[in-house]
């Protein structure tokens, strides 16, 4: 983060949340537009909105066990993230803030699970915070953040996983009961923003079904931005979507608010000095034109009527009373 007052970031975002076809409930969740999703809306949700703020937060979380405790862990992580972001001053270092949040979230979720010793769970979390012409990312687990720019898709995070005999094992998540989470530099990053950048957040319900190449192809489609994110959602559903998935796409319309401001300045400068005065004077000069036009029209109609009457044959006048 930087000191001082920063300009707004203009963006449009689409958030999707879908319950897996093999799940009894959705243990995924998203944080977008200043809120997370309540239980009653998690079966299927698509929400889009434009934002015009100096600080914007988006995140996805995937409860690990696909059951109620996983859903509660994801909800706890996102609720705490939202609370932390509201207390984030622009002078604070993002990386210190992120490490404090991750430590608090890990302990809070661990305490939640400790209430029932039989529960083993937790949640992944991947977040993007937009501020000061930059995208700051933090991630624990295997949910991902991507940047799509100039036709190329780049991962901004790495998966915290290992593989044994083609079986994937998470190495880090929120709610680990064996100690402190130490956010490593590889999953805390800063990326400078450009106009028309697209940022993508996904849980593994998407990335287990769609390759990076398929994601890039959807984002390259000649459609409106919201429709491109819809393509990703639809393709996952078409492939069966056995697991819950969360998906957020963010398009940067103006990374620092200068484009809109410069456009306004250009419009003002394009007007010649005194143009407003000339326009007002021109309007005043033409105010007398309307009554003059009405008068001339009446004269013209009178002349036409007179000519018509004088051209009538004599027998027509004898038909009139007294003729």
- pLDDT band of residue 183 (cuts 50, 70, 90) is low
Name the residue with higher pLDDT: 126 or 93: 126
**pTM of the entire predicted model:** 0.79
Summarize the confidence of residues 189-208 as an average pLDDT: 97
d(CA 129, CA 57): 5
Is residue 95 a contact partner of residue 188, using CB atoms and an 8 Å limit? yes
d(CA 256, CA 254): 6
Q: What are the CA-CA distances from residue 38 to residues 168, 180, 225, 259 (Å)?
A: 30, 29, 26, 36
- pLDDT tens, position by position, 97-153: 998 899 899 989 988 877 766 666 799 999 999 998 999 999 999 999 999 999 999
Among 76-90, 111-125, 264-278, the minimum mean pLDDT is found in 264-278
Helix (H) or strand (E) holding 145: strand 144-149
At residue 39, does pLDDT exceed 80? yes
Tokens at residue 1, please? 């983060």
Q: Using a pLDDT cut of 90, give the percent of the chain over it.
A: 59
């Amino acid at each position: 983060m930087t000191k001082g007052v920063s300009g707004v970031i203009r963006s449009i975002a689409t958030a999707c949340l879908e319950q897996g076809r093999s799940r009894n409930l959705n243990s995924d969740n998203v944080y977008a537009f200043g809120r997370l999703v309540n239980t009653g809306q998690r079966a299927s949700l698509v929400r889009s909105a434009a934002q015009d703020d100096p600080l914007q937060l988006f995140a996805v979380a995937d409860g690990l066990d696909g059951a109620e405790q996983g859903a509660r862990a994801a909800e706890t992580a996102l609720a705490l993230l939202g609370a932390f972001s509201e207390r984030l001053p622009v002078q604070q270092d993002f990386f210190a803030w992120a490490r404090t949040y991750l430590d608090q979230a890990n302990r809070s979720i661990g305490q939640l699970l400790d209430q029932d010793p039989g529960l083993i769970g937790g949640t992944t979390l991947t977040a993007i915070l937009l501020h000061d012409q930059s995208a700051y990312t933090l991630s624990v687990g295997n949910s991902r953040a991507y940047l799509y720019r100039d036709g190329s898709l780049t991962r901004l995070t790495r998966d915290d996983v290992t593989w044994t005999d083609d079986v994937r094992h998470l190495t880090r998540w929120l709610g680990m009961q064996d100690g402190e989470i130490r956010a490593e530099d590889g999953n805390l990053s800063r990326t400078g923003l450009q106009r028309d950048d697209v940022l993508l957040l996904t849980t593994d319900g998407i990335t287990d079904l769609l390759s990076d190449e398929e994601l890039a192809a959807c984002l390259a489609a000649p459609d409106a931005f919201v429709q491109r994110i819809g393509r990703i959602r639809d393709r996952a559903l078409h492939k069966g979507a056995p697991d819950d998935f969360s998906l957020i796409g963010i398009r940067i319309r103006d990374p620092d608010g200068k484009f809109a401001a410069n456009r306004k300045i250009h419009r003002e400068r394009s007007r010649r000095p005194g143009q407003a005065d000339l326009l007002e004077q021109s309007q005043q000069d033409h105010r007398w034109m309307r009554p003059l036009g009405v008068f001339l029209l009446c004269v013209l109609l009178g002349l036409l009527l007179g000519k018509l009457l004088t051209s009538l044959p004599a027998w027509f006048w004898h038909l009139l009373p007294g003729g």
